Structure 1
Amino acid sequence: MKKLVYEKMGIKPGMRTHFVNATEAAIEAIDLPELDIRKSLKGKFEYIHLFVTRQSQMHRGFPVMKKHLQEDGVLWVSWPKAGQQDTDLTLPAVIKIGYDFGLVESKCISIDSIWSALKFTFPRQGKVYNNSYGKLK
């Protein structure tokens, strides 16, 4: 049986969650289970999802989201697929920005016909991360 988008993302029911700039269509495509969705960014979260269309948005939003991410949490970043919504983001650019702010990527998926999504987590102690698009700082 085909996995639902939220299952591919590893989202579990009850996770403390915050969305930034999520479109209604993208949320519908993810087909979320019951979550503890918070409107304000206070405290730590298990799952944060940042939707961006420009590198400048990601540069501003990523470090703010990272501060609110639990040590074992996931920060998903979504951006429009190539050529859509006048984006200047590509997979290599998204990875580089994530690494610049000290998180590592582990999975890339398609949410729908518009949005790609990349999963970021804190690096595991002792593990070496080699990525041609970015270096941990």
Structure 2
Amino acid sequence: MSEKSAAQKLAIKEGQRFLLVNAPAGYQDLLADLPKDVSVVTEPSGTTDVIQCFVTSKAQLEEVLPRLKANLNRKGIFWVAYPKGTSKIKADINRDIIRGYAQTIGMEAVAIFSIDDDWACLRLKVV
């Protein structure tokens, strides 16, 4: 069985609007197989079906999560990507910090996947 693509793991569907924030260099190459008619934007405006933001600190998470949450449509998917503990990327954040903060703003963690050797991604939903 073949491994799922990044677009499949992110659950991006045909015709959706995808907001990508703070992505590392080269990340968009992993999204080369997006479904038909997906609109990729890098600045928040209006409502969005799928949001993925990359963070490396708790301060950054606290700044972007509430702001971007306001752009998520009612049944939208929100992904927070963060450096793995084994990554060489300097960070002061992990999935437990993200989960804890998300709960304080009415969100909960529901899924996780590995993007690559450096990044993991935590799916949040509004509760």
TM-score (structure 1 length as normaliser): 0.82
Call closer, same or farther: CA 1:27–1:102 in 2, change over 3 Å. same
The alpha carbon displacement at 1:31 in A equals 4.3
Correspondences of 1:2-17 after superposition (within 5 Å): 2=2, 3-17=4-18
Call closer, same or farther: CA 1:99–1:67 in 2, change over 3 Å. same
Call closer, same or farther: CA 1:14–1:106 in 2, change over 3 Å. same
Would you say the 8 A contact 1:30–1:111 is kept in 2? no
Asked whether 1:97 is paired with 2:115, we answer no
The alpha carbon displacement at 1:121 in A equals 1.3
Would you say the 8 A contact 2:44–2:71 is kept in 1? yes
Call closer, same or farther: CA 1:121–1:32 in 2, change over 3 Å. farther
Number of the residue aligned with 2:30: 29
- Aligned partner letter, 2:66: P
Would you say the 8 A contact 1:29–1:112 is kept in 2? no
The alpha carbon displacement at 1:7 in A equals 1.3
Call closer, same or farther: CA 1:95–1:24 in 2, change over 3 Å. same
- Aligned partner letter, 2:125: T
Matched length: 123
Name the % identity. Answer: 25
Would you say the 8 A contact 2:99–2:109 is kept in 1? yes
Number of the residue aligned with 2:84: 81
Other structure's SS at 1:94 match? helix
Would you say the 8 A contact 2:21–2:43 is kept in 1? no
The structure that is strand-richer by fraction is 2
Deviations 1:1-53 (A, max 9, x none): 22223212211132111111012333323544042112331111001111000
- Aligned partner letter, 2:75: D
Counterparts of 1:39 and 1:87 in 2: how far apart (Å)? 22
Number of the residue aligned with 1:107: 111
Asked whether 1:121 is paired with 2:125, we answer yes
- Aligned partner letter, 2:11: G
Call closer, same or farther: CA 1:12–1:99 in 2, change over 3 Å. same
Other structure's SS at 1:12 match? coil
TM-score (structure 2 length as normaliser): 0.88
Number of the residue aligned with 1:45: 48
Name segments (4+ residues, structure 1) moved above 4 Å.
Answer: none
